[in-house]
């Protein structure tokens, strides 16, 4: 009935809502998890994982992230913007380091396909690859996050890009063969 009213008033019917959204993804992973699990044994490893999960979920809630899934010793979360995701990643790194748990994290903003509680698409793969490139204790962000399109023109006109990155506390890019640059985020972050 609503479709007919809409068509009568506007001359057309809208299609079904899109399942594609622009989102910022945060991937995390415990560094040397296999070696740590072997060293600790099942009971202590599971206790460490439970502590890890509690901390990550607490920080996701604090920064407005949505848990998409876990990967055993890692998380995939979705945010409505990159600043929250980066700040959340930095907070997780800091809190877990205080507990003797070292993680790496990756952040990427992309269009993703939402299906129920899951997300899919090339952006998810890119975010996972960014995380895999991060060193222990790092939050590595893609060039999309570090220099969004609306910032790039101002960087060229007003001051050198390295000055802007330093102000935002995103240190110099690392280049990887066949890949775009990725930046390492460092606290405090002001985006």
Q: pLDDT of 37-92, one tens digit each?
A: 999 999 999 999 999 999 999 999 999 999 999 988 999 999 998 989 999 999 99
Q: Where does the pLDDT of residue 94 fall: very low under 50, low under 70, confident under 90, or very high at 90 and above?
A: very high
Q: What is the pLDDT of residue 60?
A: 98
101-144 residue pLDDT tens: 999 999 999 999 998 889 999 999 999 999 998 999 998 888 77
Q: Hey, is 78 helix, strand or coil?
A: strand
Q: Rounded to an integer, what distance in angstroms lies between the CA atom of residue 70 and that of residue 80?
A: 19
Q: Where are the domains of the chain?
A: 20-185
Higher pLDDT, 142 or 162: 142
Q: What is the pLDDT of residue 22?
A: 93
Is the model's pLDDT at 16 over the cut of 90? no
Q: What is the pLDDT of residue 136?
A: 92
Is the model's pLDDT at 172 over the cut of 80? no
Q: Rounded to an integer, what distance in angstroms lies between the CA atom of residue 113 and that of residue 65?
A: 17
Q: Rounded to an integer, what distance in angstroms lies between the CA atom of residue 102 and that of residue 191?
A: 25
Higher pLDDT, 186 or 162: 186
Crossing angle of helices 33-40/42-63, nearest 10°? 130
Q: What is the pLDDT of residue 70?
A: 93
**Residue among 77, 78, 27, 73 at smallest CA distance from 50:** 73
Is the model's pLDDT at 167 over the cut of 80? no
Q: What is the pLDDT of residue 46?
A: 95
Which of 5-19, 96-110, 145-159 has the largest mean confidence? 96-110
Residues 6+ away with beta carbon under 8 Å from 135: 104, 184
Q: What is the pLDDT of residue 2?
A: 56
Q: What is the pLDDT of residue 189?
A: 44
Model pTM score: 0.74
Q: Is the dihedral of CA 99, 78, 31, 135 positive or negative?
A: negative
CATH superfamily of 20-185: Nucleotide cyclase, GGDEF domain (3.30.70.1230)
């Amino acid at each position: 009935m609503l479709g007919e009213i809409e068509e009568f008033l506007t001359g057309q019917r809208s299609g079904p809502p899109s399942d594609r959204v622009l989102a910022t993804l945060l991937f995390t992973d415990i560094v040397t998890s296999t070696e740590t699990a072997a060293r600790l044994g099942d009971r202590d490893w599971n206790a460490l994982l439970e502590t890890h999960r509690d901390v990550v979920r607490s920080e996701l809630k604090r920064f407005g992230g949505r848990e998409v899934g876990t990967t055993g010793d890692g998380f995939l979360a979705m945010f409505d913007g990159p600043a929250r995701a980066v700040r959340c990643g930095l907070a997780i790194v800091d809190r877990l380091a205080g507990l003797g748990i070292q993680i790496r994290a990756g952040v990427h903003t992309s269009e993703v396909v939402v299906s129920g509680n899951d997300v899919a698409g090339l952006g998810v793969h890119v975010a996972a690859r960014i995380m895999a490139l991060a060193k222990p204790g790092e939050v590595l962000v893609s060039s999309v996050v570090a220099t969004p399109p609306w910032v790039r023109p101002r960087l060229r006109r007003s001051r050198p890009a390295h000055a802007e990155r330093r102000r935002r506390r995103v240190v110099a890019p690392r280049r990887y063969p066949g890949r775009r640059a990725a930046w390492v985020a460092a606290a405090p972050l002001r985006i």
